[in-house]
Structures are given as C-alpha cells and as structure tokens.
Amino acid sequence: MKRAFIITIALIFASLVAINQRLDMKVNELQTQVLERHDTSLDGLNTAVWNHLTIPTLEDVVNPAMECVVEIHLEDWGLIGTGFHIGDGIIVTAGHITEIPEKEGIELTHVVFEDGTSYDIQCIYTHPDYDCGFILLDSIDKPFLKFDLDGLVRGETVLVLGHPLGDRYTFSVTHGIVSHLVRPEEGYYGDIELFQIDAPTHGGNSGSPVLDAEGEIVGILVGGPYSQCGSALDGISVCVPIDAILTAMEAADLNQEEYE
C-alpha cells in the first residue's frame, strides 16, 4: 500500500514537471515572438527616422534640377539667357530677357533642355515693374521645379544653375550663401527689393533659378552691380524673391497655386 502511494506521488510529480517544462517552452516562444516584433518595429522606426533626417547631397539635388533648366535662344544670335520649367510648359526667366523682342525688335525663338530637346516659344510675358518674365510653350512632358515658400534665412546655402558666359559653359552649377535679404533696387531691375547672394555668376546666368539645399526655387538671378570701370563685381549677385515671382504670375494670369 505504502509503495503504491509513493509510486502515485512520483507519477504526479513527473507530470507536473513535464507540464511546467511545456509552459516554460511556451513562455519562451511567446517572449521570442514579442522581441522579434519589437526589433522589427524598431528597425523600421530607425530607418524611417534616418531617412527623414538624412540631408540630400548636392549631387542628389543638382542633377534632377538641371533637367528643368533651359537655354533661351534669340533669333540670329543664339543663347541669350537662362530659364527654368515650373510645369505646364511655363518657363520662368528674368524680365530683361523676355523684354528683348519689344525693346530690340529681335525675336526669342526657342528653348533647349540639357537633353537636347528644343521647343518653340509660343508666347512671352514681362512684368512691368519686376525683372521677371515668363515664356509659354506648348504642353510638354518635362520635369519641373517647385517653389520654397518657407522664407529665406541669411547664411542659407543656395545653388545657381545656368549658362555663365553664354554657350561656352552651358548647364553649369555654382553655389554660395544668402548674403543679405533686402537690397532695394530701382531702374534696371525694377522697383523691387531683391536679395543678395555671393555665388559667382556671369552674363548668361540672367534668369537662372536660385535654389535652396533641397532643390526648390527661392528666386531668379537677375544680375549684379558693376564697378566704376564697368566690370561686374565678384561675389555680389542680386535675385528676384519668391513673393515677386508669385505676384508676377498672378499678373500674367498664371495660377501660381498649382506650382507651390
């Protein structure tokens, strides 16, 4: 009797041990699944945060942006300035470029993208007060630039894309910083407050897009001051700001909200 009782107790104990082992295995399995899911979630979160915080390189910005830049050609002359596509076949440039036909009686004929595609100019608009103009093409399927509406900061890095010295150095990029936010200018550049940058620019850069470090438009390069002997001053260029461009678009009956 006593022996049977001991055997029964032993069997019960063995069963409890086996059950406990199975429970431990199940708990370990569940813990492993939770940890794997947690690690996966953290990996995804870390990747998302890193992607958000990663600053694009100049190469990442410049090459796609340059696909939106055009040469502007003048009848019997050739390349006369720079422009950039903002969508729907609208090319933005400097007003002193688009006013050439009216002032000189020579027609602007066509624009050329870096890939060599050429488009005839259909219509031209020049704002009467700002050095800002628009060239309209037939509807085209080309990349376009967007506006940065966050506002400029002095010291901010900017890029200038265009054709310094005309057809000798087409589709070039230079960079600098915003030197000053407000430079009142009258006369040649219109009655408008321009901003100043220190990027080196030259004839042929008129109408170039001025971009922020993310490749969005912050202005149009329109020129710079000259010394008393008539030479351009290095490191000082002036640009038409975003608000003036949008005002000019409104005056030209172009819906600027589509391009913001």
Q: In this structure, are residues 134 and 92 in contact, taking their beta carbons and an 8 Å threshold?
A: yes
Cα separation of 100 and 123, whole Å? Answer: 13
**Rounded CA gap, 210 and 244, in Å?**
14
Catalytic residue among 172, 206, 208, 237: 206
CA distance 234 to 204: 15
Burial 13-22 (b: 16+ CB within 10 A, else e): eeeeeeeeee
Active-site entry in 73, 85, 127, 131: 131
**3-class DSSP assignment, residue 185:** strand
The residue among 256, 260, 254, 224 whose CA lies nearest residue 240 is 224
- DSSP alpha helix (H) spans, 79-178: 95-98, 100-104
Whether 161 contacts 170, CB under 8 Å: no
Residues 108 and 118: beta-carbon distance below 8 Å: no
Check if 15 is active-site.
no
Indicate if 131 belongs to the active site.
yes
- Residue 213 CB coordination number (10 Å): 16
Active-site hit among 73, 85, 96, 202: 96
Residues written for the chain: 260
List the one residue out of 162, 170, 169, 136 whose CA is nearest residue 239. 162
**DSSP helix/strand/coil, 237:** strand
Report the catalytic residues: 96, 131, 206
